[in-house]
Amino acid sequence: MNKRILALAIPNIVTNIAIPLLGMVDMGLMGHLESSVYVGAVALGTTIFSFIFWSFGFLRMGTSGFTAQALGARNLRESMHTLYRALLVAFGSGLAIIALQLPLETAAFSLIKGSAEVEDLAREYFRIRVYAAPPTLCLYAFTGWFIGMQNARIPMVVSISVNVMNILFSLLFIQFAGMKSDGIALANIVSQYAGLLLAVIFFYRYYGKLLRYKLTGLRMQITADMRKFLKVNADIFIRTICLIVALSFFTLQSAKAGDTLLAVNSLLFQLFYFFSYFIDGFAYAAEALVGKSIGAGDGLQLRKTVRRLFRWGFFLSIPFTLLYFFGGAFILGLLTHHADVLNAAVPYLFWAGVVPLVSFSAFLWDGIYVGATASAAMRNAMIIITFVIFLPSYYLLEPLLGNHGLWLAMMIFLASRGILLGAMSKKAVFSLSL
């Protein structure tokens, strides 16, 4: 079992780590320009697209769960139909985002505030990067499908390729074309379209034979399976919106505290993202293995998989905690040379070290629930955690502790996710294999 987990987790870890490494490179490029406003601009622009794109995270998660269950039941036709449905929704949604970019920009910047200079740069970033929406969402669908098919290597290669291209084009646009935060946005567009092309090539190379499982016309839109696909993904969409509300709220409150604290919290959050994408490698493995076990009706294998996943999660969180406690200041020094930001970050380094221990169970339960397509339970839990636990915690703690209160509320949010999902798992997950 450990070998099966690692065979899926390690490529997923490499895939996921490439994302925060790109974020760190972007922050590093901006952090070494003449002003720290570029860090804030990319942070605000990235937050907006996190809200938009992460809202469509169901295109990966729902696709992964349905595909893994179809594979466990040895139903390759349904596996392909899942991919068709996901790509249809992804491409249509990407075009809709481009068409609605003006109202989206207006709404986003009415909620997220920074200084006038930071906001102007963030708007410029938004107006460029929005054209990456179709390939970004289609890559979500392909990634979920490949993982559901128990193949984590293709998403790994695609992700590494996308991020290497993104870094290279960012360097090209900034160092040689004289661009700033707009260069980061343009590099994202080029790399996302190239990544989608690469994913299509891999699909034809390794799964082209499955194209014989075709759908007639638009019948897929009215079938019971399509309705189930949309229902589960609607639940995951609501769950993801709640998650993004919490993370965006964190950035919004940071921005209200001024450009320096915005830069501090944005840089510290890169450490959080680094760990989250690392542990998500095991969450993605959970999606594939749990979904396959449930599709095959193997309850014993399901329980064995969950136990092993939590052992890995706990023991892997410890090195990250030690790294952040003792090496956090050094890492931040690589990301920016601005002494005011580095000095202001010192009192808050403690929170980056706490993150791994309090959050690993939340990420693993997410993967388990996705594999089980237990979407209603995920939705309900996240609604409670966001609006009943996190936001009240912030409004209680921030007046007393300032920015420390904001970080403590975020720790409560992360810990509560693991506790509540664990409490609900007997009915929501394990009963499905009976």
Average the pLDDT over 159-187 and give the result: 83
pLDDT class of 328 with cuts at 50, 70, 90: confident
Q: Of 42-46, 96-100, 301-305, 413-417, which gets the smallest average pLDDT?
A: 42-46
Residue 19's pLDDT band (boundaries 50, 70, 90)? low
Going by pLDDT thresholds of 50, 70 and 90, the confidence category of residue 223 is low
* pLDDT for residue 167 is more than 80: yes
- How many domains does the chain divide into? 1
* Cβ contacts of 170 within 8 Å, gap of 6 or more: 25, 26, 29, 183, 184, 187
Calculate what percentage of the chain has a pLDDT beyond 90.
40
pTM for this model (two decimals): 0.81
The pLDDT-based confidence of 93 (bands split at 50, 70, 90) is: very high
* Average pLDDT for 403-426: 93
Q: What average pLDDT does this structure show over 236-258?
A: 86
**Distance of alpha carbon 107 from alpha carbon 46, whole angstroms:** 15
State the pLDDT at residue 35: 55
How does residue 23 score in pLDDT terms, banded at 50, 70 and 90?
A: low
Q: Which domain holds residue 15?
A: 2-433
Token code pair at residue 343 = 């000095």
Amino acid at 49: F
Token pair for 169:
């084009």
Structure tokens, 407: 């970080």
DSSP 3-state of 336: coil
Average pLDDT rounded to a whole number, residues 145-156: 93
Higher pLDDT, 338 or 100: 100
pLDDT over 50 at 218, yes or no: no
For the cut 90, the answer to whether the pLDDT of residue 335 exceeds it is no
Kindly report, residue by residue over 284-304, the tens digit of the pLDDT.
899 999 988 998 888 888 999
